[in-house]
Amino acid sequence: MTTTRRKFLSTAGVGAVGATLATPAIAQSKIVWRMQTYAGAALAEHVVKPAIDKFNQIAGDEMEIELYFADQLVPTGELFRAMQRGTIDAVQSDDDSMASPTAVRVFGGYFPFGTRYSLDVPVLFNQYGLKEIWEEEYAKVGVKHISAGSWDPCHFATKDPIRSLEDLKGKRVFTFPTAGRFLSQFGVVPVTLPWEDIEVAVQTGELDGIAWSGITEDYTVGWADVTDYFLTNNISGAWIGHFFANQARWDELPDRLKTLLTVCMEQSHYYRQWWYWGGEAALRVNGEKMQLTSIPDEEWAQVETAAKAFWAELTEGDPIREKVVGIIQEYNDVMQKAGRPYRYDT
């Protein structure tokens, strides 16, 4: 399959009366993009397909986006390179999962304790300057950062109950790269597998659990059918993910289609805000497939404290990462001082 496929429609010239020459045929091309999401088919039905369907409907004969799910065209870990080369035209993913070569990679997905609520993400990007940083970093590597949004919080879904930090030791868990690096200090063994293989891996014992999502996703994609327990403590309040495009393909679009694409992607972010927010609460209360467990607050405080040291470790003297961490710290300080409902001790 080619990088960009175009379907040409032409109309035959009609000969005019007398000496008038036939009108030349005018070829009209439809722009066709291939986009791959990091989400599997069941999850994509909520987190990206509605927005792409709406875009295709409005764009009509001008443009069509062909949507592919996790690992369909390329493995998720190769998404960035494939987009950069133009093998695919656009991507929905977090920076971490797609192996972004930028300095901001570590903040994609679930940055440990960087956020508490889903609204934290759009505020950080639109009011605290992260949007400009992401745009600049991706422009350096030939990729257009279109927009950022948030998903659900990150919790453990496991076969065995987790009621203490001791219970985490030795657990083989599917999670995001940076989150896995952080959790490994508590004895967690991070495992990388194709997204569609996770359910079977839990059933066969290759995995002891998943730290990839909140409870809404566990139910939606079938993970609640193979795990028995859900840990209410989370390591991040909201996933940070984005829409990206190959810069050359983006530059080729007329401004109207750029605007339409951006609006549809922003609407997708909004859908996830309320879908996850309502689902997380409803399934904790009414869900019947998983038993809720918790680690005591005083013990979980060790994990929260470790996150701050982890932030310092991740910067490693990198000025871009230091700037992002500084913004996250500033933001959380403002939220804490603002008090309820922004921040308060639970």
Pairing relationship of beta strands 154-158 and 209-213 according to DSSP bridges: antiparallel
C-alpha to C-alpha distance for 248 and 78, rounded to whole angstroms: 19
Q: Which of 93, 106, 133, 161 shows the shortest CA–CA distance to 327?
A: 133
Give the model confidence (pLDDT) of 264-286 as tens digits.
Answer: 999 999 999 999 999 999 999 99
pLDDT at 194 > cutoff 80: yes
For each of the domains in the chain, give its residue range(s) and CATH number, in order of start: 29-151+239-280 (3.40.190.170), 154-237+287-315 (3.40.190.170)
- Return the percentage of the chain with pLDDT > 90, whole number: 88
Give the model confidence (pLDDT) of 134-150 as tens digits.
Answer: 999 999 999 999 999 99
Q: How many CB atoms lie within 10 A of CB 259?
A: 11
pLDDT at 3 > cutoff 50: no
CB contact set of 21 (below 8 Å; sequence gap of 6+): none
Give the model confidence (pLDDT) of 7-48 as tens digits.
Answer: 322 333 333 333 333 434 434 699 999 999 999 999 999 999
Letter for the amino acid at 291?
Q
Instruction: Give this prediction's pTM.
Output: 0.88
Give the model confidence (pLDDT) of 79-133 as tens digits.
Answer: 999 999 999 999 999 999 999 999 999 999 999 999 999 999 999 999 999 999 9
Position 317 scores a pLDDT of: 87
Q: How far is CA 5 from CA 125, 132, 245, 301, in A?
A: 33, 31, 16, 53
